[in-house]
Amino acid sequence: YGGPHAEVNCINSVAEVNRHLISSSTLYVSLEPCAHFGKTPPCADLIIEKNIPKVVVACHDSFAQVNGCGIQKLRNAGIEVVENIMEKAAINLNKRFFHFHRYQKPYVTLKWAQTADGFVAGENFQALPISNAYTNRWVHKMRASEMAIMIGTNTAIHDAPSLTTRHWVGRNPVRVVIDKQLQLNKEADLFNEAATTIILNEVKEARDGHLHYFKINKEEHLLPQLLQLLFQKNINSLIVEGGPALLQSFVEEGLWNEAYIITNEALFLRSGVKAASLPADKFISSWHMAGDKIVYYNNLPSPSETNIT
C-alpha cells in the first residue's frame, strides 16, 4: 500500500534504449488510471506526460475519487480511450479493491482442510497433515494474494504455524492472531520478523517492532472490531485459516466473501475436532488437485463483484 501503481512500474520498466517507443504505444490497464493525489501522484498525469496515444481500460475504478475521472482526464488530453475490454475478468481480478472501498472492510476468504469424514484435527486438537504437497503450494499461492492472514489461539498453540508463503514466491501477508490474555510464546515462528503480526488482546495497546498489539473491547463482538482495524490500516483482504470456532464465527456473522474447503477423500479420522460448516446454497463449484477435493463457496454481496466459475 502506498507504493507505485502498475502504470508507473510499467513505464519505468521500459529500457532506456526503447523509451522513444512509449509515445507510440498502447497502454493496457485492468483498472481505470487514478486521477487524484493520494499516496502517489495521479497515474493519468503520467500517461499524459509520456504522450501515450491510446489506453485500453478493462473496467472503471468505483473509488469515489476516481470513478470515471481518470478516463475523462485522458480524453480531455486527446488520448484515445477504449473501455470495458474483458470487464468481468477485470472486476474479478480487482474484487478485493472494489469490496474494500464499497463496504469499508476487507474482503474475507475462509480456508480449511478436513478429512473425508469432516474432521480438522484429532482429539484434543492434535494436529495432523491432511492436504497433499500440491495443495499446500496452492494454499501458499493464495496467501501471497492476500494482505493479511488470521488464526485463533488454539491453532497457534497446537499447529505452531508460521503463516508465511515459504512454499510460493510472494510476499508474506500481515499475520493476525487472537491472544486475549497474551499467553502465547513470543519465541514461536508466528512472531518472528518474517511479517508484521497484529495481536488481538484484552490487555494492552502497544507496538514492539513488527509486533502490533491491538486491545479489543471485550464488551463488543471481536470480528467487527477486527475488520474495522484492518480497514483503518488499509488492509484490503484477509484469509482466515483458524480452527472451526473462529471460522464458524465468520460464517454465522455473515462476515465472509468466499471459502475453500480442502478434503482428503482417502483420510478418515472417526473422531476428533469437527470442521466448520457452510450454507449449502453458497456452493459454487468443486475440483480435484492431486487427490484432494477442493470445494468453493461464494457469499459476495453483489454477483457483479466476481466472475469465478
**pLDDT by residue (tens digit) across 181-212?**
999 999 999 999 999 999 999 999 999 999 99
Rounded Cα distance, 295 and 6, in Å = 32
R_g of the chain, CA atoms, integer Å: 22
7 is catalytic: yes
Residue 180: the pLDDT is: 97
Q: What is the CATH number of domain 98-305?
A: 3.40.430.10
Residue 303: the pLDDT is: 41
Residue 64: the pLDDT is: 66
CB distance 178 to 154 below 8 Å: no
Every domain of the chain and the residues it spans: 6-93, 98-305
Residue 35: the pLDDT is: 84
Give CA 14 to chain center in angstroms.
29
Q: What angle do CA 121, 122, 124 make, to 5 degrees?
A: 100
Weakest-pLDDT range from 31-40, 99-108, 219-228: 31-40
- pLDDT mean over 132-155: 96
Residue 78: burial class (beta carbons within 10 Å; 0-12, 13-18, 19+) = exposed
**pLDDT by residue (tens digit) across 120-134?**
999 988 888 999 999
Enumerate residues 6+ apart whose C-beta is below 8 A from 171. Answer: 144, 165
Residue 108 confidence class, pLDDT cut points 50, 70, 90: very high
Maximum distance among all Cα pairs of the chain, rounded to whole angstroms: 68
Nearest to 108 by CA among 220, 235, 218: 235
Rounded Cα distance, 196 and 80, in Å = 43
Q: What is the CATH number of domain 6-93?
A: 3.40.140.10
State the catalytic residue, choosing from 7, 32, 146, 258.
Answer: 7
**pLDDT by residue (tens digit) across 32-62?**
998 877 677 889 999 999 999 999 999 988 7
